[in-house]
Chain A
Amino acid sequence: MSIADIIISIITWIFQKLILPVLPTNMPLFSYADLQNILTGTLKHNIVYSFAGISQIFNIKLLFILLSTIIVGELLFWLVKAGFFIVKLIRG
């Protein structure tokens, strides 16, 4: 077993035993299945249909792509804040 193997074993143990079991799969009151039901239901079709005309003059594709980047960016920001919080918690 190499040094890298030992480090990976420690990291995966922390992830599997300490972090993953604590993280929830669903939000309270609004489960992931509910979200998927909404997103994969008629909502997508209605939005595609509704924006079909306006997309001739409004760059709706770019808007949605940038919306995705905003979501990912905010998530990264939240992760960094969470990391700092844990560091502060450990340092006391």
Chain B
Amino acid sequence: MASKQQNISVKGFISQNFKSLLFVVILLFILLIGGKVYGATPFQENFDIYSVGDLAPQGSWATTTPYSVQVSTTTSFSSPNSVWLTSENYSSIKEGDHETTGDWSFWAKVNSDPGTNGETIAVSITGVDYSNVASALYFNCVDNDCETTGLAKISVCIGGGSGLVEIDQVPIDEWINFKVEWDSSTNETRWKSDFGSWSDWGQCYTNTFTYVQGFYIQGGNQTGLLKINLDNISAKCGVDNCGLCETYNTCVSGGCSWYYSIYLQDYFCTEPFTPDDEECDAFYKCQYCGNQTICEEQLNCQWIDRGYGDQCYMAEPTIPPGQVDWEVPDLDDCSSLPALDTLVCEIKNLITGVVMPSQEKVETLYQTIGAFKEKFPFNYVAGLNLFFSDIATQLNTTTTIPIEVLGQQSNVSFTFWDATTTIGGTEETLKNIMIDFTTFVILMGWFVWFISLIKRFF
């Protein structure tokens, strides 16, 4: 009886406070879904919503020099936009949340056009304002002519009193990922590029900072030619932020695991998983191989240390295409048509909308059918086809055959194949006559198979 009364009172409480409970549930939902925090990063930016031209004052970006950094669609790490600046009077800064410790990741490309020599461009992380530099990374073409060597020196401000320390040389005209971590309790930072491991922690001169809030891109006041593009300023891709890793290389170099579904041809970066030898397989599932022996038995897998202990990785990362070439066409634009034509156009769009598949469904179907390529017997057939086509393209028709007679070495002479005769008024070499004859025999044999195949169908 008491239990029943309790149940009634609970029901009564729920009915009386339904709106309040609903609010709490929605709030919890928002906190769980929308409030996910990707590490301590003052802000994230991909420049994709901005108009081409001056970056400042769009999106709270400001400039401290005559020219703002420029938004462009010419090149980007993630379409459509990136920003560029030269070593002249270009600069832009954006400030976000105050973070005493944290990290940032960004992508940069040193351009060979219009030329790269004798100048530097700095990317700084700043504290109270743009002059409170916590640390900086310099794209340096002062000591070497980047255009000639194809390499740009990367120096970072972690050397204490001596300032800059060179950490890497990176290729120009390629998008390179850079990462920085900071700790205001020690006034130190450390940096990393795709081409090296993390630098040591160090202070930038005697600079101190209580937090980092700004990302400052600065070409200084130089007259030489140096131009860089920047894109995707975000939290550092790595453990706990594996979902931010967009490529296989950034995923595994961040200590994460590369998930690949052989059924769905779907792949993404995920938090490190415990290898399971049952799942271990060649190419895309190397990371499931738990020990060296099993790893090296698989094709294109190697057992190496990429900074997180010995593990199994793809030797040459190959990612299957995930996108279908065909795109679902857009519906007609009826807005500019006269009244009757608009009606016809709208009806046409309605019918089209009912029968037209969505791009998402088309891609799912494409990936599902693509998954058959990995299954018996399709994978065996595809492997054999590739094998035969490789042989057909690699065959060398001008080789020699060495022989040794009575201790004398020589090559078999095939000059007799070039002897000519006249057939039907046309001069033909013996070689061509033989090839035509063997071709005829091969084709006849193939036709016999082909006819038998057709007969088997009926």
B417 touches A44 (CB 8 A): no
Check A77 against B457 for contact (C-beta < 8 Å).
yes
The complex places the Cα of A48 from the Cα of B393 at a distance, in Å, of: 9
A59's partner among B372, B385, B435 (CB-CB below 8 A) is: B435
Q: How far is the CA of A40 from the CA of B401 in the complex (A)?
A: 25
Are A70 and B449 in contact, CB atoms less than 8 angstroms apart? yes
Assess whether B364 is in contact with A36, with CB atoms less than 8 Å apart. no
Residue A42 CB within 8 A of the other chain: no
| Count of chain A to chain B residue pairs whose CB atoms are closer than 8 Å in the complex | 161
Query: Whole-angstrom distance between the alpha carbons of A25 and B374 in the complex?
Result: 7
Contact with B along A14-29 (1 / 0, CB 8 A): 0110001101111100
Q: Are B384 and A23 in contact (CB under 8 A)?
A: no
Question: How many Å lie between the Cα of A62 and that of B313 in the bound state?
Answer: 39
Decide if A90 is an interface residue (CB 8 Å cutoff): no
> What is the CA–CA distance of A37 and B164 in the complex, to the nearest angstrom?
50
Asked whether A86 is an interface residue with its Cβ less than 8 Å from the other chain, the reply is no
Residues of the A chain whose Cβ atoms lie less than 8 Å from the Cβ of B446: 66, 69-70
* SS class, residues of chain A in contact with chain B: helix
A35–B378 alpha-carbon span in the complex (Å):
13
* Chain A interface, number of residues (Cβ within 8 angstroms): 56
User: B36 contacts the other chain (Cβ, under 8 Å)?
Assistant: no
One digit per residue, 1 when the CB lies within 8 angstroms of any chain A CB and 0 when it does not, for chain B 365-409 equals: 100110110111111110111111111101111111100000000
Instruction: Tell me the residues in window 45-61 of chain A with beta carbons closer than 8 Å to chain B beta carbons.
Output: 47-49, 51-53, 55-61
Q: Could you say which residues of chain A place their CB within 8 Å of the CB of B423?
A: none
The A-contacting residues of B in range 397-436, CB under 8 angstroms, are 397-401, 414, 417, 431, 434-435
**Interface residues in B, total, Cβ within 8 A:** 63
Q: Are A65 and B392 in contact (CB under 8 A)?
A: yes
B9 within 8 A of A: no
Which one of A1, A16, A58, A68 lies within 8 Å of B264 (CB-CB)?
A16
Which of B369, B377, B390 has the most CB atoms of chain A within a 10 A radius of its CB? B377
A57 touches B431 (CB 8 A): yes
CA distance A62 to B95 in the complex (A): 66
* B393: nearest chain-A partner, CB-CB: A61
Residues in B with CB closer than 8 Å to A3 are 354-355
With A8-B364, A20-B368, A64-B388 known, 4 other A-B pairs at CB within 8 A are: A39-B386, A48-B395, A57-B434, A72-B385
Give the interface of A toward B (CB within 8 A). 1-5, 8-9, 11-12, 15-16, 20-21, 23-27, 32-33, 35-37, 39-40, 44, 47-49, 51-53, 55-75, 77-78, 80
Q: Which 5 A-B pairs have the closest CB atoms?
A: A4-B357, A52-B399, A57-B434, A23-B375, A64-B388
